[in-house]
Structures are given as structure tokens and as C-alpha cells.
Structure 1
Amino acid sequence: MPIRYPVPLRPGDRIGVTSPSSGVPDALWGRFEYAVRCLRDRGFDVVVGELNHAPSHVSGPREARAAELMAMLLDPTIRAVVPPWGGETCIDLLDLLDLDAVAASEPTWCVGFSDTSTWITPLTLTTGIATIHGQNLMDTPYAVPDGILHWVDVAGAAAGDEVAQHSPGRHRSGGWDDYAARPTVTSMTLEGRGTWSRIDPGQEDEPITFSGRLVAGCVETLSFLAGGRFADIAGFARDHAPEGVVVALDIAEWRSHDICRALHAMRLRGWFDAANGILVSRTKAAEPDGFTQHAAVVDALGMLGVPIVADVECGHVQPMLALVQGAWTTVVHDGDEHIVTQRLD
């Protein structure tokens, strides 16, 4: 079955903002308002939901969060839904989402990463509707560096279009910007240097090109779903990607030991059975006992015999690629070329 792509996002369209996971604390509300204003300045009609504040670690009761998200997904006038950011326990609303109703409705662009992948990746795997992994509302005001596309521009692509991005060779080496002190910051501090590296055993210096339909998400959240009804990657491959998939892994904060354990679990549950290649994010997560994050990935996945390219801009380190889940994706890692090209077919 073909992947379904939402209609291209255009100025004048409505964008829904809701927080299915964590809301925004008062100290950072200035950034939230500025990000909404940036979308409005681009010509979009932004619908701000009731559940965007932070009374606790989530924006409200799970029933209310699920209802607000479903209302936006089923509203034919809303062309995109983008949360402020991820959070911690979005997993609690999955069984309240009517994904059959979503599948039967006009597709809506859903955008985000981190805990947002807890619901957008199941949405793509279950319905075959394309979503965008990477960047979120609070990232929206930033000017992206050369090689990276803004999520608004990617959401403006039409079925049949080709979208190409490449590593800028620069990344953020420090912590996140202080949105409380600088709510209107628009320039990324990319003082780090470096690009992708191939880490599958015995092939570290070899150029590689591989293709498949993209499936992406955060290891810390998807590892709990892999192999279950909300993350049936085998069913997705059978129905939508018989040629295989490219798996992009976002390693956010777990120690290397925990990542190793989680990736072994995902492997045992069949998460990589249809993989033609694997992308692994750049990460600042802890590496105790000299056990690096690269070593953790190789320990769990090196036996698969597929290319593994690490330090990709698909995680929690700025800048972040805006990658279309479900799109036919070709990865080139060859000398000075570090390119991901997606065809929306």
C-alpha cells in the first residue's frame, strides 16, 4: 500500500499546537509565545490548544490530552500539528488514540521528536501516513544551518517531490539555550565540528549508500513499544515497505549500558529485521566505564550485518534534520558527502 502524504503546508493554513506529553512551564512561556508568533509571521493561522501549560510532568489528564490531540488530527481545517516539545510519559495516551479514525481522515502533518515520537511513529507505522521526525515548536524560531531544512519547508513538500539534506559539519557542543533569559533566540550556537561516522564492524572507513522507507524515533521511548501493536514495524514493512526500511535512532539521555540493553531488546523484538541500514544520532549521553555510545550500538546491532552510520543530525543535539517518516530515503556516506535524500512517493 502506498504511503499517504498530507497536502503541502502553505501560508494561510491552520497549525494546531498541543502538548500530548509535557507542557511549558511559566518561566519558558515567553519562548512558547514567540514560537507561535514566528509561525503567524510566516502567514499561518495558529490554533493554540488548552493543554500547553505544565501543572505537572504532563500538560493534563491523559483523557484530556488524547481528546485535544484527536480533535486536531480529525479537524479537516488543521493541516499540521506540532507540540512545543516532547516530555516523559506520552505513552499513557496511546490506547486512547483512535488511529482507525485518523487513518480514515484527511492526513495531517505531525511534527516533533523525543517523546513526540512515542505517538507520531506509531501513527506512521499503524496508518501509513507520513510524519516529520525532528524539530518542534520551540525550535521553530531558529534559522537552520546550511544543509538542514526547516520543518515548515519540509511540510510544504508535495507527494512526488524530492527533499535533500546534508550534514552541515557543525553541531552544538554545549547545553540548550536558556529560553527564560533569551526567549527570542534565533541563532544556533554550533561551535562543535564533525560529521557522520560509519561504525558497523570491519566497515568503518568504507563509503556506503543504502535506501529504504524511513522509520525514526527515540530509543528511550520506542524501546518500550517495539514489537507491540503500536510499533509493528514488521507489519509496516509488509504493507508499505517490502523493499526494506532505514531506521533512524535518537539517543537522548540514557547511559550507554542502558542504550545497549534497549537496542538488544528492540533487536530481539524484530525492530531491525527489515532494516537496510541504520542511522544513529549524535548524543551527549553518559558513557560510564569507558563504554561509549558507539560501542553500545555496535554491541547490540553490529551482528545484523547492515550499515550503521552514527553522529547523524537526528537526535537531541542541534541542528536536527526534519526527516519524513514513510518517505523513500537514500543515505550517502562517502568521503565529504553525507547526504539524506527523500522521495515522497
Structure 2
Amino acid sequence: MTGLRYPRPLAAGDRIDVPAPSMGVPTSLHARLDDAVRDLRASGFIVEVGDFARRDGLVPGPASARQAELMATFAGPARAVLPPWGGELAIELVDRTDWAALAEDPKWFVGWSDISTLLLPLTITTGVAALHGANLMDEPWELPTEFHRWTDVASLPVGASFTQTAAPHRRSRPWGTWEEEPLGRDAAYEAPTVWRALNGDDDVKMRGRLIGGCLETVSLLAGSRYGDVSGFAQRHAPEGVIVYLEVSDSDAATVLRTLWALRLSGWFDRASGVLIGRTTAPDVPDLTQSEAVERALADLGIPVILDFDTGHQPPQMPLVNGALAEVELVSGHGRITQHLVP
């Protein structure tokens, strides 16, 4: 037994709360927020949007107020906590948050980008699983048939497993106005995409407990108890960990430095594999994004998969921090199975 804990399955009629621990939504995008809420309600959920979620600016309120809203959300009747999206300064809440209190009645904490700054400490410090790969503002888009929606994953009982395969297409075009956004999967994702092994192999396999998030934000936790991936592996992952990371907008030199910082902090000491998400972040002269990963990780002796379906270039599949996962790349075809086992 690893001691991993999972929130109870989400069911129709359950409440989903929407706090904004990082950034709120500007008035110009309230229509998108309202459409996302409408979609969740149409699926049978009660959705309560917090006051901060509709506020503009770098942050919607002081760190103390955002932390209080988050704590109140976890103490309340909601069964899932779904921020509107990421932002910049969720790290202000990390040391203020009573993580043990959040774990007393585990709820599905769902998000990505800057929200992974909070998902990671929850799983690492308490052993409670968290769900990376969706936020409220993503809700209106139809996912590829190869993926599961986050609500479907959160509805699974402990002991269940689910399998997803690589998306055949990704989004490559710039973001337009909300009224012009195509939401159907065939129009939303128009450019071919495929997972690939860092070493060029056609066949790659890895098995371990998933842990990770946005490189720019979770890397800030390395060296603290909130980002102690090696300690998490010792306590909860005798199988080893699969570290997944995605780059938002850092250039290749910054990515190389950051991956090395994680390496020096022990993030890959007990890793059985690494998943690197797609990115549109820039290269620099003499160094591409792929070369940055190669220079930092190639000599670890573990498989590394690039262009995995996570990150700031949609679509991205839900990944459960703490779940036992098996990842395969066979003849260029990618597949991941996640087991919600303690």
C-alpha cells in the first residue's frame, strides 16, 4: 500500500465550486465563462462561481483573501474545485495553505498551468490525488474521441482504470475572439501531431506514479517540502514516478536551465520515465526546445517522450497526480492507462 488517497467519485447533482486562487477572468471573456458554467450545469452538476473568478487584473485579490476563499471552498459542500484557469501568482498561496486541512475531506482539485503550483503540493504533502488537464474555461471545447473529460475521470471509483490514446491533431492557429472560436473537435484541432521518443525509438514503455505540471511554475517548488518529488516517490511510489512537464512560454535556454535545476533537486532520481508536453515556446540560437530536453535528460537512462498531450497547445488529456500509469509508444502510436489505486 502506498497510502495514496482519492476523492470520492463525482456524481450528477454534486456541486463544483469555482474559486480563483491565481487569476480571475476579465469582463471581455465572461461570455466564455458563462458558457462553460452552462455546459457543466447541463451535465447535471451544481456550479457555484466565486466572487474572485469574475475579477480582472494580475490577481483578483490579496493572497490572504484568495487563500481564504480556497480554504472555504474545500471546507464547504463542493465535491470538486475547478478554478477558471491559471495565471501567474498561485505560489503566493503555497506556504499560507493548510494542506492537511484540504485533505481532511478530499475533493477533486482540478486545473493546469499556474494551478499546478497548488495541485503538486496537495499530492506531495498529503498523498491526495489531484487532476491535471482541465479548467473551467476549457469546458466548451469538444475533446478528441481518444480522451476522457475530467468529469468522467473524477466519476471513477477507487480501483478503476482508464486508457487514453494520443490525439491525432492539435491546435496550431492563434486564438481569436470567443464568438469566432470553433468548439467542435474536427475544427478546433487542425494540425497533425504525434508523440515521439527523445532517442528516436519507435517503441517505448514506462510505468510509475504520475506527478508533474507546468515547468515554469512547479519548478519554483523544487527544494522545498512542497516540491519534494523524491520524497513523494519514497513514500508513495515504490514503482517509481513518471514526471510530466509542459512549457508555457520559456525559451529553450531557460528550459534547459530549469530542467537541470529539477535534476539537481532529485526530481528524476526515482523516475521511470519523463513526459514532455507540446509547446510553442521559442527556440534560441543554437538550441531548440527538443535539444534543451536532450541536453538535460538524455543521459538519465530512462525513456523520455516528447510532444505528449499536455500543456498550452490544446488538446490536453487529464492526468491524475498520484495515479499508477503505464505509458506506451508502439510503432509511433501513443497510449496511457491510469489506475486509480492506492
- Tell me which residue corresponds to 1:160: 159
- Tell me which residue corresponds to 1:195: 194
The one-letter code sitting in structure 2 at the alignment partner of 1:90 is A
The one-letter code sitting in structure 2 at the alignment partner of 1:126 is T
- Tell me which residue corresponds to 1:87: 87
- Tell me which residue corresponds to 2:273: 277
Partner SS for 1:331: strand
Q: d(CA) in 2 for partners of 1:244 and 1:175? A: 38
Partner SS for 2:220: coil
- Displacement of 1:211 after TM fit? 0.3
Q: d(CA) in 1 for partners of 2:143 and 2:151? A: 11
Contact 1:227 1:271 in 2 (8 A): no
- Tell me which residue corresponds to 2:146: 147
Q: d(CA) in 1 for partners of 2:297 and 2:184? A: 37
- Tell me which residue corresponds to 1:241: 237
Partner SS for 1:28: helix
Q: Does 2:69 match 1:36?
A: no
Q: d(CA) in 1 for partners of 2:159 and 2:261? A: 36
Contact 2:131 2:318 in 1 (8 A): yes
- Tell me which residue corresponds to 1:207: 203
1:112-162 CA distances to partner (integer Å, 9 max, x unpaired)?
Answer: 110000001111111111111112111111111121111111111110100
- Tell me which residue corresponds to 2:305: 309
- Tell me which residue corresponds to 2:78: 78
The one-letter code sitting in structure 2 at the alignment partner of 1:284 is T
- Unaligned ranges ≥5, structure 2: none
Select which of 259, 276, 279 maps to 1:263. 259
Contact 2:196 2:332 in 1 (8 A): no
Aligned residues: 339
The runs of at least 4 consecutive aligned structure 1 residues that moved more than 3 Å come to 181-188
Contact 2:110 2:132 in 1 (8 A): yes
Q: d(CA) in 2 for partners of 1:276 and 1:336? A: 20
- Displacement of 1:49 after TM fit? 1.0
Q: d(CA) in 1 for partners of 2:183 and 2:30? A: 14
- Displacement of 1:238 after TM fit? 1.2
The one-letter code sitting in structure 1 at the alignment partner of 2:95 is D
Give the alignment's TM-score, normalised by structure 2. Answer: 0.96
- Tell me which residue corresponds to 1:216: 212
Contact 1:141 1:184 in 2 (8 A): no
Contact 2:8 2:157 in 1 (8 A): yes
The one-letter code sitting in structure 1 at the alignment partner of 2:78 is I
Give the alignment's TM-score, normalised by structure 1. Answer: 0.95
Contact 2:195 2:332 in 1 (8 A): no
Contact 1:31 1:184 in 2 (8 A): no
- Tell me which residue corresponds to 1:109: 108
- Unaligned ranges ≥5, structure 1: none
- Displacement of 1:74 after TM fit? 2.1
- Tell me which residue corresponds to 1:20: 21
- Displacement of 1:55 after TM fit? 3.8
Q: d(CA) in 1 for partners of 2:151 and 2:268? A: 30
- Displacement of 1:183 after TM fit? 7.4
